[in-house]
Structure 1
Amino acid sequence: MTPLHFSQPLWRRPPRALFAGEPISSPERVDLTVIGGGLQGLSTAYAAARRGLSVRVIEARELGEGASGLNGGQVIAGLKQDPDWLMQHFGQARGSALVDFAAGAADAVFDLIQTEGLDVEHVRSGWIQAAHTPAALVAAEERNRQWRARGADVMLLNGAEVALLTGASGYLGGWLDRRGGTIDPLAFVFELARLATQSGARIATATRAIGLRREGADWLVDTSAGYPVRSRSVVVATNAYSDRLVAGLARSLLPLHSFQIATAPLPPDLRETILPHGQAVSDSRRIVVYYRKSPDGRLVFGGRGRMAEPKNETDWDHLQRAMLRLFPALEGVTIEHRWFGRVAMTPDQLPHVHEPERGLLAVAGCQGRGVGLMTALGPRLVDYIQGGDPAALPLPLTPIRPIPFHSLRALGVGVAIAWYRMLDGMEG
């Protein structure tokens, strides 16, 4: 999503980025076409190119202009659902594989940064899920029990410990998952693109995939460049930016806007008391707020925004009010950056993997965990493309199920967000 004139993301591409795009200047034939140049698409392209496949990535915008480059940079292990629920829902074999995959999602990001020496600012000091009600604290206790039983480096926090680690007021306790952390998401996008191109993948930006059809054993992707790309396999990695390219995909998702603000660099006294150890935080409210510190000492604060694109700076005011409720000492601190990106929610709050026809894969629905999830998923998609064994995928292949009365459902989500935000405010 191209930032509006008053929308100023904090993140910056790495100064030494060696990514160079290659436009589509003639008809092409490759092993794999990836539609979408976000984290999922680039992770898949990199994994495939490293294994010797010829890869073409088609990105409708410039790199980093979607949610992959505009998110809060929180790297979180696990899924929305706890391990026991996943085991019960998917069965022993599939559930266990999915829990193991989700547990390692943050590792996929930080290990890649370390082993490849990526120019990505990062801190791995954990992720805190802060509880603001007794019911949320009970849920945190249960989550802690389940992950500790599986050997995860996690711990339960009381109210005083959450206050000490976050500097925020009003929490009863919470849960610390030391597997998590933070990164600069835009830098990570560009470094993934660099790895992919250095491995042989070709990336065309500002190029739309405008048609997708089967021709014999191949797929033909028509592009806005005027030339088609033919391949045996296609991965549609468009997530919240999905359109009519794959029938029903966009209508199976509920798009939401994630809004974020960043303060001016905090003065030394506040920098020492607000997130002094650099953890990322999400809370337990119905409309979750999340926050972290940037490498230059700003507080970055995010949450759900209006369903339509923002029209002026006041559309971020609800975030500033929420920030001051948690951090009253920030009264008077300047907000220097405001930005937003589009994310996709699935009705069951699980990521979905689809194969509507053989050789055509689509994945959507990150539920706030896209940085780790989509980075880790790329190599597994390539495993399936090369071997054809569904067990290579951490999630089962499911049919695309458009949401009935999709446009009305999206409108209802907007009304629910406003209602839940009011309830959250009443709870403090």
Structure 2
Amino acid sequence: MPGYSEPVWAEEHIRKSSGVPLESGETVDLAVVGAGILGLATAFHAARNGLKVQVIDAGRIGDGASGLNGGQVIPGLKYDPEWLLQHFGRERGEVLINFASQTADAVFDLIRKEKLDVAYNRNGWIQACHTEAALKTASSRFAQWKALGADVEMLDAQTIERLIGTSNYHGGFLDRRAGVIQPLAYTMELSRIAAAAGARITENMKCRKLEKRQDRWLLTMENGVEIGARSVLVATNAYTGNLVPGLAQTLVPLHSFQIATEPLPEHVARDILPQGHAVSDSRRILVYYRRTPDRRLILGGRGPLSRPKHIDDWSHLERAMARLFPSLSDVEISRRWYGRVAMTPDHLPHLHEPEKGLLAFVGCQGRGVGLMTAMSRRLADYILTGDQAALPFPITPIKPISFHFLRNIGVAATIGWYRMLDAIEQ
């Protein structure tokens, strides 16, 4: 497709295909299906602690959302601390608040401790508010996290205009715990350290069947190769198929589209995100954006539910860029790409263990880089010890969404309605 390609950072990191063959009859302590951030980081922690680990991915490492996302590392969950306490009760709520507060730390600490070759910037994330009502909500979020000691700040209209370079917002919420990374490099580096710890990683190998055989799980690949495992982690998230009955039907997969400009002239770029903040706005159909080290602006948001067929499928992002930054109206777009994200009906991550030794964790709600990194250590600890105290989220049953086969119609209608409301509020 003319104008469509891999993400702009794909050319920064050469991907070498993993040549580790999958041997039929092999038995491992842990089989991980899905070589994204969650799968690779869990494999790393498990292998580092002495488990025999096999990671399997149907495609190349980095081809899914872990390599295609916008690279924003945002702590917290969709909901604020007070809601978590009310919904889960004090004991579980406090565990979740503590966990959520440290998800960004998990990423940046891992990069530093393991000396990962990953470009990053930890200057914070801004939630930019396009209405007074959104600003009021952000003020409540600020007060709750500030009371817990988080490094957060409320921004007035003048300050947010200086930090972003646009007068489109009434103010906003700055979380200095957050930052940005180069996501493909991060995913590839997780693969490297997992392999160095002893995990075997096999790409381009689809697992088509999973069944329990006495005290172990039997995984059967498309080519007929079979391996056994004491435990299995299904880490496929938005790319979940029918390997675990009903799991895919608990999720609403959406497409996140992104565009990247050519490197901006210095005189144009100096007023746009001059301190390198990541930004998401408060619209119902939000847009998110950041700068790269070579002065490109990357902007993303929800796109069509079907696969893109023409560069016009990214035109809504170009209009958003022109609205926010009129000086970029005529700038050339060098890259366009998209990936799949998974939402849950309650906007919370879901942890499932339908049978002993079979785990699945799904539903990032836009915070996948930090969430999946932090959760990986907890999952590895649980697999090692069997102690549920290691898990911040409760294990819940798989509950497919009613009339899931009609999801695209419902989601398309909802997106259309939200876009109209957002347009009215501009």
TM range (shorter): over 0.9
Q: How has the CA–CA distance of structure 1 residues 125 and 389 changed in structure 2, closer, same or farther, with 3 Å as cutoff?
A: same
Mapped to 1, the partners of 2:31 and 2:24 lie a distance apart of 15
The aligned residue for residue 411 of structure 1 is 409
224-233 or 125-134, which deviates more = 224-233
Q: How has the CA–CA distance of structure 1 residues 284 and 318 changed in structure 2, closer, same or farther, with 3 Å as cutoff?
A: same
Mapped to 1, the partners of 2:153 and 2:125 lie a distance apart of 11
The aligned residue for residue 113 of structure 1 is 111
Query: Secondary structure of 2:224's match?
Result: coil
Quick check: 2:17–2:203 contact (8 Å CA) kept in 1?
A: no
Quick check: 1:19–1:190 contact (8 Å CA) kept in 2?
A: no
Mapped to 1, the partners of 2:308 and 2:170 lie a distance apart of 33
Q: How far apart are 1:423 and its partner, in Å?
A: 1.9
Quick check: 1:19–1:194 contact (8 Å CA) kept in 2?
A: no
Segments ≥4 residues shifted beyond 6 Å: 16-19
Taking only aligned residues, the RMSD between alpha carbons, in angstroms, comes to: 1.4
The aligned residue for residue 197 of structure 1 is 195
Q: How has the CA–CA distance of structure 1 residues 5 and 36 changed in structure 2, closer, same or farther, with 3 Å as cutoff?
A: farther
Give per-residue Cα distances to partners, 1:189-245, cap 9 Å, x unaligned. 000000000000011100001100000010011012421110110000010111110
Q: How does 1:373-392 map to 2 (within 5 A)?
A: 373-392=371-390
Of 246, 249, 267, the match for 2:247: 249
In structure 1, give the amino acid aligned to 2:43: A
Indicate whether 1:123 and 2:137 are aligned.
no
The aligned residue for residue 328 of structure 2 is 330
Indicate whether 1:313 and 2:311 are aligned.
yes
The aligned residue for residue 402 of structure 1 is 400
Indicate whether 1:260 and 2:261 are aligned.
no
Mapped to 2, the partners of 1:180 and 1:22 lie a distance apart of 35
The aligned residue for residue 24 of structure 1 is 22
The aligned residue for residue 271 of structure 1 is 269
Give per-residue Cα distances to partners, 1:278-331, cap 9 Å, x unaligned. 000001000010000011110000000000010010000000001111111111
Query: Secondary structure of 2:270's match?
Result: helix
Mapped to 1, the partners of 2:356 and 2:194 lie a distance apart of 25
Q: How far apart are 1:73 and its partner, in Å?
A: 0.3
Determine what percentage of the aligned residue pairs are the same residue.
Answer: 58
Quick check: 1:18–1:194 contact (8 Å CA) kept in 2?
A: no
In structure 2, give the amino acid aligned to 1:420: Y
Quick check: 1:107–1:179 contact (8 Å CA) kept in 2?
A: yes
In structure 1, give the amino acid aligned to 2:233: V
The aligned residue for residue 352 of structure 2 is 354
In structure 2, give the amino acid aligned to 1:117: K
Quick check: 1:132–1:170 contact (8 Å CA) kept in 2?
A: yes
Quick check: 2:13–2:184 contact (8 Å CA) kept in 1?
A: no
Q: How far apart are 1:352 and its partner, in Å?
A: 0.3
Query: Secondary structure of 2:162's match?
Result: helix
225-234 or 183-192, which deviates more = 225-234
Query: Secondary structure of 2:383's match?
Result: helix
187-196 or 115-124, which deviates more = 115-124
In structure 2, give the amino acid aligned to 1:202: R
Q: How has the CA–CA distance of structure 1 residues 53 and 5 changed in structure 2, closer, same or farther, with 3 Å as cutoff?
A: farther
Q: How far apart are 1:5 and its partner, in Å?
A: 7.8
Q: How far apart are 1:22 and its partner, in Å?
A: 0.9
Quick check: 1:105–1:375 contact (8 Å CA) kept in 2?
A: yes
Of 209, 212, 215, the match for 2:213: 215
Quick check: 2:259–2:333 contact (8 Å CA) kept in 1?
A: yes
Of 331, 339, 342, the match for 2:340: 342
Q: How many aligned residue pairs are there? A: 426
Of 123, 143, 146, the match for 1:145: 143
Give per-residue Cα distances to partners, 1:391-414, cap 9 Å, x unaligned. 211100000110000021332111
70-79 or 85-94, which deviates more = 85-94
Gaps of 5+ in 1: none
In structure 2, give the amino acid aligned to 1:235: L
Q: How far apart are 1:26 and its partner, in Å?
A: 2.9
TM normalised by structure 1 equals 0.97
The aligned residue for residue 426 of structure 1 is 424
Mapped to 1, the partners of 2:191 and 2:46 lie a distance apart of 13
Mapped to 1, the partners of 2:255 and 2:409 lie a distance apart of 13
The aligned residue for residue 235 of structure 1 is 233
In structure 2, give the amino acid aligned to 1:199: A
Mapped to 1, the partners of 2:204 and 2:141 lie a distance apart of 43
Q: How far apart are 1:353 and its partner, in Å?
A: 0.2
336-345 or 112-121, which deviates more = 112-121
Quick check: 2:52–2:199 contact (8 Å CA) kept in 1?
A: yes
In structure 1, give the amino acid aligned to 2:384: Q
